[in-house]
Amino acid sequence: MVLSLGIGNGNQSAMQRLLLASTHPLLLPTPLSAFSCRQIRRVLPQSRTAKPPSFSVCNCSSNSSTFKVKTSSELRNTKASSSTDSQPDPKLTALRRLFSNPGIAIDAYIIPSHDAHQSEFIAECYMRRAYISGFTGSAGTAVVIKDKAALWTDGRYFLQAEKQLTSSWILMRAGNPGVPTTSQWLNDVLPPGGRVGIDPQFLFTSDAAEELKQVISYNNHELVYLYNSNLVDEIWKDNRPQPPNKPVRVHDLKYAGLDVSSKLSNLRTELAGAGSSAIVISMLDEIAWLLNLRGSDIPHSPVVYAYLIVEIDGAKLFIDDSKVTEEVSDHLKKAGVELRPYSSIISEIESLAAQGAALWLDTSSVNAAIVNAYKAACDRYGQNHEKKHKTRTQGFDGSNEQLNGPTTLHRCSPVSLAKAIKNEQELEGMKSCHLRDAAAICQFWDWLETEISNNRTLTEVDVSDKLLQFRSKQVGFLDTSFDTISGSGPNGAIIHYRPEPESCSIVDANKLFLLDSGAQYVDGTTDITRTVHFGEPTSREKECFTRVLQGHIALDQLVFPENTPGFVMDAFARSSLWKVGLDYRHGTGHGVGAALNVHEGPQSISYRYGNLTPLVNGMIVSNEPGYYEDHAFGIRIENLLYVRSAETPNRFGGIEYLGFEKLTYVPIQIKLLDLSLLSAAEIDWLNNYHSQVWEKVSRLLDGSARQWLWDNTRPIMR
């Protein structure tokens, strides 16, 4: 599944990163001491194409703005908006009425995509931005002022946003030339002295809130923290879904590879080395990994809503106790983890300040409410200005002075890298589940090709549902790892397309079909994309597909020295496309969790050079170059890889060299190749890959599916 990476330059602020899109958390742990949290925290999408948008422009403000865009309805290549579309949006009208209420008095309100834990996927009850705007993509930020409403999203969702937004909204294509950031737009459209409201309790990290406050202050605007209520919730009212309450489960040690006590001990060693007495962990996948727990609070992500405080001599998990089974309670008690109500996190933070704690806070992931509560408590319990509150931000390898009274240590969470580097049992689980997943996918393709050849009419949703049926029969299957992207023809060009029953297309045998899907198994997480044609592809489609495959092969075969960050590798995947002036609007690779989130950090492969995290032995990344022609077709080829040591005849500088090993074993359609573009070495790569696919997967198949695999793994004879 594509994760867009890289809006703007490497100096992009945390506030811009938060407001422009919701992506996976990129957290940098202690061993990578040379890099700052701000450099690698989140990386977002940017169009690499130099040409400007093809649509005409108009003012997005009443004054003479330098930023000119068109509303979403004007961008559509369809007939004029319906009379219904031109009516005032009742949700926006209701929201704006609240702007003038006592205790609020704001001129603008910002609605990000996140929950309180900065999750990429969130529970339905927290989908505030989707509710207010109608745009359902996972990445985006809505900003509502008294006479306008704008939504920012990245290149994966431009076409989807055009379809879903009404004429009441301005679509901001983040990263395109001439498109302002949210703060730039607010400074442009609001008269000086405006009041901009946010919900710091849930939706903004501390870093993002502080940077937003600073940027809008250039035009004398004030950032207003609305602690007492979320304005979207006020108008959502009884229609808002209930919070999830399904039980938590223990992640078996044979899959986790390391027990909770050992993980906590390693973390406490990090705390002691940094001179810290406690840490707040709010990222849900970090909590799940550290405590060997899994949940189902969020679709596709096996996590549970919780906070965790780890101290030198104890740990507290803040969670709705109705989700905690007796088995989970015993599991946590054995590791010395106490249970506390989810809602009591703020009071516990204040208690830590009263005890004089040296609290480790990752302000790029912890929400502003927690950070501000600790700051305020430090001020209350300190004895003088020097002892009230002193923030320590030395480098990871720097020493920290001893201070009396409560202090804070602002560093990235040390849990992220430990989670990203898979141990042997985690890798074994990933290998095993990928083979079972491959068997299900082969059964699916055999079924689909048979149906299409028999002229059966199938929708994109029919196809997606059938794939789920095949996967659900596999041992250990739990859920999909994201909404399946099943796109026929032009829908394949919508990078994160999600077919809906009432509006999806028929799978057309004469058009390209893109299928990006994944699954959660008890022992691992999968993510795979294949693009196929059921008829005769055009020469244009074959050339584009072949160039995408060439980029995929180049990255797969790469050997690189240790300490190499992912942005160095990105160009290898794009080079063949660049040669003919083509490119794609998303990152090439993202990290993947082991029976956890399908998107994880800190590693990535992207042209955004701000993420300096090196790829390390044991990390898992996707390899998914693509190409998309708007309103025509989309192409993507995705395998998952894990980083391993590479055998090289030399070791220049005495350092280790690394390479990749594949986890994904599913055939790549040969019919779509222009063999004249492929080198002998590239053909050898594909033949070797298909030989491995047959060897590893055929034993899991029988009947027509096994025959399909045989037919689609035969070597190319040039």
- Considering the chain, what is the average pLDDT of its residues? 86
Domain boundaries of the chain, sorted by first residue? 90-239, 249-384+406-418, 421-682
Report in angstroms the alpha-carbon separations of 636 from 194, 249, 626. 45, 35, 4
Q: If 0-12 CB within 10 Å is exposed, 13-18 middle and 19+ buried, where does residue 669 land?
A: middle
- Stated as kind and residue range, the H or E segment containing 532 is strand 528-533
**H-helix segments, 498-649:** 539-556, 570-578
> Quick check: 545 pLDDT over 90?
yes
pLDDT band at 391 (very low <50, low <70, confident <90, very high): low
> Quick check: 614 pLDDT over 70?
yes
pLDDT at res. 476 = 98
- Is residue 237 within 8 Å of 211, Cβ to Cβ? no
Q: pLDDT, tens digit, for every residue of 397-413?
A: 333 434 567 899 999 99
Residue with the bigger pLDDT between 113 and 571: it is 571
Domain 90-239 of CATH type 1.10.3720.10: no
2-6, 162-166, 236-240, 566-570: range with highest mean pLDDT: 566-570
pLDDT at res. 49 = 33
Q: Do domains 249-384+406-418 and 421-682 have the same CATH topology?
A: no
Give the CATH number of domain 421-682: 3.90.230.10
pLDDT band at 8 (very low <50, low <70, confident <90, very high): very low
Q: pLDDT, tens digit, for every residue of 21-61?
A: 333 322 223 333 233 343 333 333 333 333 333 323 333 33
> Quick check: 20 pLDDT over 80?
no
pTM equals 0.84
pLDDT at res. 19 = 39
Q: pLDDT, tens digit, for every residue of 147-185?
A: 999 999 988 788 889 989 999 999 999 989 999 999 999
**Half-sphere CA count of 206, side-chain side, radius 13 A:** 19
Distance CA(234)–CA(366), nearest Å, equals 24
Report in angstroms the alpha-carbon separations of 462 from 484, 505, 535, 699. 11, 10, 20, 28
> Quick check: 394 pLDDT over 50?
no
Token pair belonging to 488: 């026929």
> Can you tell me the mean pLDDT for 648-675?
97
Q: Which residues contact 358 (CB under 8 A, 6 or more apart)?
A: 275, 276, 277, 278, 403, 406, 407, 408, 409
Give percent of the chain with pLDDT exceeding 90: 74
Token pair belonging to 438: 């491959």
Which residue, chain included where needed, has tokens 């990928």?
A: 434
> Can you tell me the mean pLDDT for 599-606?
95
pLDDT band at 431 (very low <50, low <70, confident <90, very high): very high
Distance CA(173)–CA(180), nearest Å, equals 9
Fold of the domain spanning 249-384+406-418:
Creatine Amidinohydrolase; Chain A, domain 1 (3.40.350)
Residue 217 neighbours by CB distance under 10 Å: 12
pLDDT at res. 389 = 46
Backbone angles phi, psi at 109, to 5 degrees: -140, 130
Q: pLDDT, tens digit, for every residue of 292-315?
A: 999 999 999 999 999 999 999 999
> Can you tell me the mean pLDDT for 258-277?
97
Token pair belonging to 621: 């990344």
